[in-house]
């Protein structure tokens, strides 16, 4: 067989371009690498770079990591955790309307998020991450400003804005949306972990969990503070006792007393790559440079989600939907709490082990066609949120999910113990699983900070089952059990009462082959 004597002009950069281009543009670039085609490749990569920057927190963007680079640093300030109440009835009101209903839900939610993010940015807040309809926000510690005071004033502005945003008329009548806000000052660890194939930004430390607890102890429509936050307040901000150990801010300030916005952040813009040479050779050089900037950002996005972003880059949006996936919540215990007792210099040892665990867990999910959406925070440990059935679906997604969690539990329990602060740390987990209709869409600002998230009662129930599970136990709903029986061994348990459920929920425990 004869070989072409001419080397393809894209041969040296093809391996980098391959996962970053839409299928049609990739094929066109290979069969017709004209200046017009290469210009289309360059413009696509520039658009994709802007999209990816919108999906990632400022810490990652401001100091873009090298591909597969693991790093961490301690940060200090005041943390705010917000959660939206009333989403489930909103979703149910539009679920029967299919994708058109999903679009309506997305418009409502993004109106809420756009207003909240606008208030936060003008008030000095930095969005660390979305988790469903919740947000974790940092007000960095500054010399001449009280970051806790700034956070509280931002929370009051946000609650006042909800008066207009929270009344929603739906086909099933008016629905009221509300928001809880929890605030706590402290120090936390920000880290990037993973492999060149898949990276993850994580937040660790007691301060993150305390902010979450403050939100949970709060009241819809109010701003809830820990005692540490209350003690840092200045000026005319006053509190009243809430649940034991927490305090509710009194919103008795006039607009003048609440004050104008403290800080205005400029809109986050990517450094636009300037194209000076539009010859074929000049375009190839520019594409090579730009793809090397985009590749590390792309590694923070699960591959199926990245594929959606790539294929929809021209439209700059992923259509919302009501899929019916299997949803898994895993509470990773041991390592996340270890940072609070680590001696100086031991953080790197813990981060290395965390990277090891994350990489193996992600591989177990990807092997079976699932998506590890994120690692987030929990009241005790770190949550890992996994989906089987969106954005890609299979006829046996629940079975794939069951196989994956059994493998993941073995991975977690099989990791060797780690000595931290003179204590031996062993990793363990709690796992909750559910399946059914959920809402998925890009939440946030349509052309700014946003994230593809999953929401709904099915998601909430999986998370609550995780909280009910004993150490290394895997709990299933009856709906999930119906999809995998009799191929997997499950034990029927007593029904339990869960938040948001009028009746006790039947439970099943998934057993591994060695537990039969």
Question: Tens of pLDDT along 157-205?
Answer: 999 999 888 888 888 888 889 999 999 999 988 899 999 999 999 888 8
For the residues 14-20, what does the mean pLDDT come to?
92
Supply the mean pLDDT for the chain: 88
Whole-number pLDDT of residue 267: 46
Specify if 440 maps to a domain: yes
For the residues 297-302, what does the mean pLDDT come to?
94
The verdict on 346 and 419 lying in the same domain is: yes
Whole-number pLDDT of residue 82: 94
Whole-number pLDDT of residue 271: 54
> For 65-136, where are the alpha helices, taking DSSP H only?
87-94, 98-122
Token pair of 317 as six digits = 């949006």
SS3 of 424, please? Answer: strand
* 474 contacts: CB under 8 Å, gap ≥ 6: 405, 406, 409, 431, 433, 509, 510
Specify if 309 maps to a domain: no
The verdict on 51 and 69 lying in the same domain is: no
- Residues 495, 496, 501: CA angle, nearest 5 degrees: 110
- Per the DSSP assignment, residues forming a β-bridge with 107 are none
Whole-number pLDDT of residue 197: 93
Give the confidence band of 381 by pLDDT, cuts at 50, 70, 90. low
Domain that holds residue 122: 65-258
Specify if 21 maps to a domain: yes
- C-alpha dist (Å) from residue 391 to 197, 264, 350: 19, 37, 32
The domain total for the chain is 3
Give the confidence band of 252 by pLDDT, cuts at 50, 70, 90. confident
Does the structure show a pLDDT above 90 at 265? no
Give the confidence band of 262 by pLDDT, cuts at 50, 70, 90. low
- Which segment of 293-307, 335-349, 475-489 scores lowest on mean pLDDT? 335-349
Within 112-222, strands assigned E span 126-131, 134-140, 167-170, 173-176, 178-194, 199-204
The verdict on 246 and 347 lying in the same domain is: no
Instruction: Using the 3D structure, point to which of 258, 284, 311 is the last residue of a domain.
Output: 258
For the residues 212-221, what does the mean pLDDT come to?
93
Question: Treating both helix axes as pointing N-terminal to C-terminal, what angle do 35-55 and 303-311 enclose, rounded to 10 degrees?
Answer: 130
Specify if 306 maps to a domain: no
Does the structure show a pLDDT above 70 at 24? yes
The verdict on 291 and 170 lying in the same domain is: no
The verdict on 221 and 293 lying in the same domain is: no
For the residues 13-17, what does the mean pLDDT come to?
90
Instruction: Using the 3D structure, point to which of 232, 258, 284 is the last residue of a domain.
Output: 258
The verdict on 73 and 161 lying in the same domain is: yes
Report how far residue 106's alpha carbon sits from residue 95's, in angstroms, rounded to the nearest whole number.
Answer: 12
Does the structure show a pLDDT above 80 at 273? no
Report how far residue 266's alpha carbon sits from residue 457's, in angstroms, rounded to the nearest whole number.
Answer: 37
Residues of the chain above pLDDT 90, percent? 54
Contact in structure between 332 and 429 (CB atoms under 8 Å): yes
Report how far residue 441's alpha carbon sits from residue 322's, in angstroms, rounded to the nearest whole number.
Answer: 9
CATH number at residue 361: 3.30.70.1230
Does the structure show a pLDDT above 60 at 268? no
Whole-number pLDDT of residue 297: 94
- Which segment of 110-124, 265-279, 326-340, 370-384 scores lowest on mean pLDDT? 265-279
**Greatest distance between any 2 Cα atoms in the chain:** 84
For the residues 260-281, what does the mean pLDDT come to?
64
For the residues 469-485, what does the mean pLDDT come to?
96
Residues of the chain above pLDDT 70, percent? 94
Whole-number pLDDT of residue 94: 86
The verdict on 295 and 335 lying in the same domain is: no
Give 163 or 458, the one with higher predicted confidence.
458
Specify if 451 maps to a domain: yes
The verdict on 252 and 295 lying in the same domain is: no
Give 300 or 278, the one with higher predicted confidence.
300
For the residues 403-416, what does the mean pLDDT come to?
96
Whole-number pLDDT of residue 170: 85
Token pair of 379 as six digits = 């009241």
Please write the tens of the pLDDT for every residue from 127-148.
888 877 889 999 998 877 899 9
Report how far residue 70's alpha carbon sits from residue 189's, in angstroms, rounded to the nearest whole number.
Answer: 13
Q: Taking phi first (over 0 means left), then psi (-120 to 50 degrees means alpha), and beta for anything else, what does residue 63 get?
A: beta
Specify if 305 maps to a domain: no
- C-alpha dist (Å) from residue 439 to 40, 102, 309, 435, 514: 33, 7, 18, 12, 36
The verdict on 167 and 200 lying in the same domain is: yes
Token pair of 49 as six digits = 């770079």
The verdict on 25 and 172 lying in the same domain is: no
Whole-number pLDDT of residue 91: 82
Report how far residue 488's alpha carbon sits from residue 295's, in angstroms, rounded to the nearest whole number.
Answer: 40
Specify if 317 maps to a domain: no
Please write the tens of the pLDDT for every residue from 415-429.
999 888 778 888 999
Cis peptide before 196 (omega within 30 of 0): no
Instruction: Using the 3D structure, point to which of 233, 258, 283 is the last residue of a domain.
Output: 258
Report how far residue 119's alpha carbon sits from residue 270's, in angstroms, rounded to the nearest whole number.
Answer: 22
The verdict on 132 and 86 lying in the same domain is: yes
Does the structure show a pLDDT above 50 at 5? no
Specify if 2 maps to a domain: no
Does the structure show a pLDDT above 60 at 250? yes
Does the structure show a pLDDT above 90 at 66? no
The verdict on 394 and 507 lying in the same domain is: yes
Does the structure show a pLDDT above 70 at 6? no
Token pair of 121 as six digits = 């940015």
Report how far residue 99's alpha carbon sits from residue 103's, in angstroms, rounded to the nearest whole number.
Answer: 6
User: pTM for this structure?
Assistant: 0.88
Report how far residue 23's alpha carbon sits from residue 43's, in angstroms, rounded to the nearest whole number.
Answer: 15
Which of 37-41, 110-114, 334-338 is most confident? 37-41
Please write the tens of the pLDDT for every residue from 93-108.
888 888 888 889 888 8
- Residues 311, 313, 315: CA angle, nearest 5 degrees: 105
């Amino acid at each position: 067989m004869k070989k072409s004597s001419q080397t393809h002009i894209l041969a040296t950069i093809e391996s980098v371009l391959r996962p970053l281009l839409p299928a049609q543009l990739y094929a066109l670039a290979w069969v017709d690498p004209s200046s017009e085609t290469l210009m289309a490749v360059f413009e696509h990569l520039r658009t994709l770079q802007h999209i990816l920057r919108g999906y990632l927190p400022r810490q990652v963007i401001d100091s873009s990591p090298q591909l597969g680079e693991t790093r961490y640093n301690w940060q200090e300030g005041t943390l705010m955790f917000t959660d939206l109440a009333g989403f489930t009835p909103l979703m149910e009101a539009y679920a029967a309307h299919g994708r058109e209903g999903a679009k309506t839900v997305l418009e409502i939610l993004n109106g809420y998020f756009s207003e909240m993010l606008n208030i936060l940015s003008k008030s000095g807040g930095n969005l660390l991450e979305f988790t469903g309809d919740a947000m974790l926000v940092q007000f960095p510690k500054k010399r001449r400003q009280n970051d806790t005071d700034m956070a509280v004033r931002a929370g009051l502005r946000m609650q006042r804005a909800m008066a207009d945003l929270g009344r929603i008329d739906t086909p099933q009548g008016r629905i009221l949306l509300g928001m809880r806000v929890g605030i706590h000052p402290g120090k936390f660890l920000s880290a990037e972990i993973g492999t060149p194939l898949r990276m993850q930004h994580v937040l660790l430390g007691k301060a993150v969990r305390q902010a979450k607890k403050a939100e949970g102890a709060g009241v819809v429509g109010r701003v809830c503070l820990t005692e540490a936050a209350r003690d840092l307040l200045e000026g005319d901000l006053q509190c009243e006792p809430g649940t034991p150990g927490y305090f509710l801010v009194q919103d008795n300030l006039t607009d003048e007393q609440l004050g104008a916005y403290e800080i205005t952040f400029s809109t986050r813009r990517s450094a636009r790559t300037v194209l000076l040479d539009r010859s074929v050779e000049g375009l190839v050089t520019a594409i090579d440079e730009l793809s090397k900037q985009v590749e590390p950002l792309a590694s923070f996005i699960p591959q199926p989600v990245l594929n959606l972003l790539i294929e929809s880059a021209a439209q700059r949006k992923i259509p919302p939907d009501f899929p019916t996936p299997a949803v898994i919540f895993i509470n990773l215990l041991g390592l996340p709490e270890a940072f609070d007792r680590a001696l100086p210099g031991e953080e790197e040892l813990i981060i290395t082990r965390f990277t090891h665990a994350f990489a193996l867990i992600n591989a177990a999910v990807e092997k079976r066609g699932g998506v590890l959406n994120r690692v987030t925070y929990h009241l005790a440990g770190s949550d890992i949120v996994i989906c089987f059935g969106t954005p890609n679906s299979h006829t046996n997604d629940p079975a794939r999910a069951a196989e994956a969690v059994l493998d993941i539990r073995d991975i977690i329990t099989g990791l060797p113990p780690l000595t931290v602060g003179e204590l031996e740390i062993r990793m363990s987990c709690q796992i909750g699983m559910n399946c059914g209709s959920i809402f998925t869409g890009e939440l946030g600002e349509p052309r700014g900070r946003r994230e593809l998230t999953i929401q709904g009662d099915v998601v909430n129930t999986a998370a609550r089952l995780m909280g009910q599970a004993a150490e290394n136990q895997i709990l299933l709903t009856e709906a999930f059990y119906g999809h995998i029986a009799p191929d997997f061994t499950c034990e029927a348990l007593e029904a339990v009462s869960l938040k948001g459920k009028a009746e006790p929920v039947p439970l099943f425990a998934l057993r591994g082959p060695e537990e039969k």
